[in-house]
Amino acid sequence: MPTAAGKTENGKPVVGILALQGSVAEHERALKRVGVNTVRVLKAEHLDGLDGIILPGGESTTIGKLLKLFDIFEPLKVKIESGLPVFGTCAGLILLAKEIEGEQPHLAAMDIRVRRNAYGRQIDSFCSRAVIPEFSGAPLELVFIRAPWIEKVFGKARVVAEIDGHIAAARQDNMLVTSFHPELTSDITVHQYFTDMVKARMKDMRGKDAETEA
Binding site for ligand GLN (CB under 6 A): 57-60, 90-91, 94, 116-117, 145-146, 148
Strand extents, DSSP E, the chain: 14-18, 37-41, 52-55, 86-89, 97-100, 110-115, 125-130, 140-145, 149-153, 158-163, 166-172, 175-178
**127 labelled catalytic:** no
**183 labelled catalytic:** yes
**Residue placing its CB nearer to ligand GLN in the complex, 58 or 182:** 58
| Rounded-to-integer distance, Cα 116 and Cα 114, Å | 6
| Rounded-to-integer distance, Cα 77 and Cα 83, Å | 10
Q: To the nearest whole angstrom, how small is the minimum distance from the Cβ of residue 186 to ligand GLN? A: 18
**Residue placing its CB nearer to ligand GLN in the complex, 98 or 116:** 116
Q: What is the phi/psi pair of residue 42, to 5°?
A: -120, -15
DSSP reduced 3-state for 53: strand
**59 labelled catalytic:** no
**Residue placing its CB nearer to ligand GLN in the complex, 27 or 116:** 116
Q: To the nearest whole angstrom, how small is the minimum distance from the Cβ of residue 146 to ligand GLN? A: 4
Q: To the nearest whole angstrom, how small is the minimum distance from the Cβ of residue 61 to ligand GLN? A: 6
Write down the catalytic residue from 27, 106, 181, 191: 181
**Residue positions annotated with a catalytic role:** 90, 181, 183
